[in-house]
């Protein structure tokens, strides 16, 4: 006589399977978040390198970067790096008519914003697409540069990071995190920064 599974045994097996699936989903979610943040950190660091190389090559800062209001690497300022061949961006036209296109049309944005842009309509604006509690426009990378050549970037040169007086660098780049800069959450007072943000510089380069 063949013995089949009892109801209790089946329920135990199903329970074990559910627990294993739940653990796998949680682990995958953590890995995905970690990968996104790693991509953001790499992007921010690469942009900082591109800006530093630009200054070393030119011997000065292009006027577009000096005059930029809001200190964002949007479609106006990102095109400077594209024209110099220092950053790979999708463009149309050439020379003075060179413009950003495709997913890069808003400038250099975070991985979280890139995902939203891919899912949105082609005609959607940077202000209409939501990324967490912010918009794609907010998720354009921020930058500040050493305009006076003293080896430091201070708040008068566009370093708008609470709690940080200056950064020892030629260029500083940062972005808000997936949640929009951890809005509504406590500050990391010891660092003067928000937990979810990504920076191109280390704590040793800063003064509070």
Q: Is this structure's pTM higher than 0.85?
A: no
Residue 208's pLDDT is 57
Residue 28's pLDDT is 57
Mean pLDDT score of the chain: 84
Give the 3-state secondary structure of the chain.
CCCCCCHHHHHHHHHHHHHHHHHHHHHHHHHHHHHHHHHHHHHHHHHHHHHHHHHHHHCCCCHHHHHCCCCECEHHHHHHHHHCCCCCCCEECCHHHCEECHHHCCECECHHHHHHHHHCCCCCCCCCCEECCEECCCCECEEEECCCCCCCEEHHHCCCCCCCCEECCCEEEEECCCCCCCCCCCCECCCCECCCCEECCCHHHEEC
What residues does each domain of the chain span?
59-207
| pLDDT bracket for residue 204 (50, 70, 90) | confident
Residue 163's pLDDT is 78
Digit-coded pLDDT (tens) for 35-67 = 888 999 999 999 999 999 999 999 999 999 998
pLDDT above 50 (res 184)? no
Between 170 and 182, residue with greater pLDDT = 170
């Amino acid at each position: 006589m063949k013995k089949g599974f009892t109801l209790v045994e089946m329920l135990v097996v199903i329970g074990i399977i559910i627990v294993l699936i739940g653990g796998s989903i949680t682990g995958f979610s953590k890995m995905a978040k970690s990968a996104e943040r790693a991509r953001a950190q790499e992007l921010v660091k690469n942009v900082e390198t591109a800006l530093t190389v630009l200054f070393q090559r030119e011997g000065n800062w292009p006027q577009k970067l000096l005059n930029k209001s809001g200190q964002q690497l949007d479609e106006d300022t990102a095109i400077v790096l594209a024209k110099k061949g220092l950053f790979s961006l999708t463009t149309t036209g050439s020379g003075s008519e060179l413009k950003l296109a495709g997913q890069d049309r808003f400038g250099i944005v975070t991985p979280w914003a890139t995902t939203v842009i891919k899912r949105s309509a082609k005609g959607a604006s940077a202000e209409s697409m939501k990324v967490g509690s912010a918009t794609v426009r907010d998720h354009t990378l921020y930058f500040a540069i050493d305009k006076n050549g003293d080896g430091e970037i201070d708040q008068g040169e566009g370093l708008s990071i609470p709690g940080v007086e200056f950064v020892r660098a030629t260029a500083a780049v940062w972005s808000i995190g997936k949640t929009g800069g951890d809005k509504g959450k406590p500050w990391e007072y010891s660092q003067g920064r928000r937990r979810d943000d990504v920076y191109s510089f280390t704590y040793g380069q800063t003064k509070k």
